[in-house]
């Protein structure tokens, strides 16, 4: 009986095993690189400069979602918060924002910054050439609030706010807004309440302001008391509008 010839002579078999081992290592490295490659898990962080944008959700009076994934914060304005407690005129501002942009195609214009600390795109927003930022301030649904370095349109927004205030439009005629005071105030005894809203906004309340008494501070959640407004502002909090 003729013996079956070995298809892998000893030397060739060693070469085959070595080659197979090398391919196995290469496949393993490729898999590891794929698993550890950075994944875009925050689509808001980058957005095309140009393109078609449709408003798919209204978050509040100054924040929207476009194309189902990008959160956009209007530059240079500040609408009342839909947080707990809901600030005066917050629901009206949110409804007006919805009326102006929900389901509509918009154009977006960047100033200096791409996003804010929460990863939201910072933009001036337009519908058919009309500035939504300006419209909300002009009709008293938002305040003109500068957030440097994005201030290229702040002079116009401030002028529109003054007009709304004179004519008592919107929140200027409906809410007990505390008069704006220049400079830093010291209320003493570390009684300034640094609250964090459900949207992550850091807002501080002074004794005597509308929501001071009902604002509860949860230090385990990062909220805190401050001794001065300067301390609060340096820590990233802004003053409540009412």
Supply the residues annotated as catalytic.
73, 81, 120
SS (H, E, C) the chain: CCCCCCCCCHHHHHHHHHHHHHHHHHHHHHHHHHHHCCCCCCHHHCCCCCCCEEEEEEEECCEEEECCCEEEEECCEECCCCCCCCCCCHHHHHHHHHHHHCCCEEEEECCCCCECCCCCEEEEEEECCEEHHHHHHHCCCCEECCECCECCCHHHHHHHHHHHHHCCCCHHHHCCCCCCCCCCCCCCCCCEEEEECCCCCEEEECCCCCCCCCCCCCHHHCCEEECCHHHHHHCCCEECCC
Minimal CA–CA distance to 195: which of 165, 232, 170, 153? 232
């Amino acid at each position: 009986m003729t013996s079956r010839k070995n298809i892998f002579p000893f030397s060739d078999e060693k070469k085959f095993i070595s080659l197979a081992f090398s391919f196995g290592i290469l496949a393993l490295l490729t898999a590891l690189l794929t698993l550890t490659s950075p994944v875009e898990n925050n689509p808001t962080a980058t957005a095309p400069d140009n393109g078609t944008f449709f408003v798919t959700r209204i978050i509040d009076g100054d924040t929207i979602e476009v194309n189902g994934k990008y959160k956009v914060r209007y530059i240079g304005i500040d609408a009342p918060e839909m947080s707990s407690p809901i600030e005066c005129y917050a629901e009206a501002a949110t409804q007006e924002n919805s009326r102006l942009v929900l389901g509509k195609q918009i154009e977006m214009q960047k100033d200096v910054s791409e996003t804010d600390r929460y990863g939201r795109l910072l933009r001036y927003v337009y519908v058919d050439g009309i500035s939504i930022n300006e419209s909300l301030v002009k009709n008293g649904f938002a305040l003109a609030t500068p957030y440097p370095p994005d201030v290229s349109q702040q002079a116009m927004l401030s002028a529109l706010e003054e007009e709304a205030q004179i004519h008592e439009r919107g929140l200027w005629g409906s809410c007990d807004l505390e008069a704006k005071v220049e400079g830093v105030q010291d209320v003493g005894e570390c009684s300034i309440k640094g609250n964090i809203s459900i949207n992550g906004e850091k807002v501080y309340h002074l004794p005597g302001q509308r929501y001071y008494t009902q604002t509860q501070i949860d230090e385990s959640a990062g909220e805190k008391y401050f001794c001065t407004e300067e301390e609060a502002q340096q820590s990233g909090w802004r003053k409540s509008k009412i």
